[in-house]
Amino acid sequence: MTWRGHGVLSDTFPMTTPKPSFLTPMWRIYIGAWLVYVVLIAVVLQTESVIAGKFDPMMLVYAFVSITPTAALLALAWPLTGWIERRRLALPQRAAIHLGAALGSAICAHLVFTALQTAPRPFAWHVWPFMYNLMIYALVTGIFHVVRVTAAGQRQALAAQQARTLLVAAELGALRSKLNPHFLFNTLHSIIALTQRNPAAAETALFQFSDMLRYVLDTERAGVDRVTLDAELDFVRDYLELESLRLGERLRVEWDLDPDAGDHLLPALTLQPLVENSIKHAFNPHSRPGLLRIASRRMESGMLRLSVGDDGPGAAPEAIAASTGLGLRTIGRRLELDYPERARLAVDSQPGAGFTVTITLP
């Protein structure tokens, strides 16, 4: 007979016959191994007759009946090993539990085996089958533990891999938040326009653009991200040059820098977000020209004070505190993490009176 039913069956009932999921490959191997063992025992018990060419099928039944209860009983060791692994029990506890369970299962299996004996047996006869049951318990639970530990290891590796993927995504997210796409595409649009009108200026702008990208990517990658104030100021200068391509005469910048502070170390991207914040709130939404002031000062105490201020619309302190924007809050949080209790971020602003942020750090 040719079997054609399978295809038809799965074609007709695709939705209602999900695969039985309780027979995992491990259990198929478990059952298969015991069946092989049953056949082996049935053959071994009558080796002489088999050699003589005779095979008593009743021996198969006998082997099956005497072995299956042990196999079924030992299957219970699977949930037991699971429970032990989940509880992360210590070695003595594990040993105690397994010893108890081994004795219990050996006694049960042995009772079944004894009941199958037709002739009475001397006491010494019981020792080997009993020992054998203890050993088979050790073997099966040992395998179960190995399977569980391996599976857990694979899950862990998978989780670690996912964590790495998330980390990369987070880094890209950070990059996106540092150089916002609006700035990127508008700047590229301006540079493309410059290539025809003023190729030299376009070239300069492209170099500034590439320096900016490199600075952000390098500090992003380097984990510990301290830079000198001079490096951060160069970055801010590049950034402002590009913004002034977009904003034209609306953006004027006044620098008031302390020549002694250039080698002071600070977290990368501390100053630029303050500048970007001003551009966003004081320059982008208004067509009248504005003034941006950037100042640095090394104080007598050795602390560094940086301030970024504009003459834009400003805001009331309550409005700033309630604002949902992340810019200032992120910088404050970073300073807090980097210099607990020692760094300060202060906002000085009133409606109509501009907006100045001053940070002080060691």
Which residues in this chain contact another protein in the complex, by CB under 8 A? Answer: 10-11, 14-16, 18-19, 180-182, 184-186, 188-190, 192-194, 197, 245-248, 284-287
Least distance between another protein and beta carbon 31 (Å): 22
Q: What does each C-alpha distance from 296 to 53, 232, 361 come to in angstroms?
A: 102, 12, 11
Output 194 or 261, the one with its CB closest to another protein. Answer: 194
Output 13 or 128, the one with its CB closest to another protein. Answer: 13
CA distance 87 to 94: 10
Output 95 or 192, the one with its CB closest to another protein. Answer: 192
Output 44 or 201, the one with its CB closest to another protein. Answer: 201
Least distance between another protein and beta carbon 179 (Å): 11
Least distance between another protein and beta carbon 347 (Å): 24
Least distance between another protein and beta carbon 15 (Å): 4
The residues near 17 (Cβ < 8 Å, ≥ 6 apart) are 9, 10
Least distance between another protein and beta carbon 246 (Å): 5
Buried b (16+ CB within 10 A) or exposed e, 77-107: bbebbeebbeeeeeeeebeebbeebbeebbe
Phi/psi region, residue 224 (left: phi>0; alpha: psi -120 to 50; beta: rest), is beta
Least distance between another protein and beta carbon 249 (Å): 8
Output 267 or 290, the one with its CB closest to another protein. Answer: 290
Output 190 or 330, the one with its CB closest to another protein. Answer: 190
Least distance between another protein and beta carbon 163 (Å): 21
Least distance between another protein and beta carbon 182 (Å): 5
Task: Name 265's bridge partners.
Answer: 228
Name residue, tokens 């250039």: 262
Least distance between another protein and beta carbon 311 (Å): 15
Q: Which of 178, 65, 176 is nearest to 114 (CA)?
A: 65
Q: Which of 175, 218, 308 is nearest to 254 (CA)?
A: 308
Output 280 or 297, the one with its CB closest to another protein. Answer: 280
C-beta atoms surrounding 54 within 10 Å: 9
Output 249 or 300, the one with its CB closest to another protein. Answer: 249
**What are the φ and ψ backbone dihedral angles of 116, each rounded to 5 degrees?**
-80, -15
Output 46 or 284, the one with its CB closest to another protein. Answer: 284
Structural contact between residues 261 and 229, judged by C-beta atoms closer than 8 angstroms: yes
Joined together, the tokens standing for residue 40 give 């082996």
CA distance 159 to 355: 45
- Residue 102 DSSP SS3: helix
Structural contact between residues 191 and 202, judged by C-beta atoms closer than 8 angstroms: yes
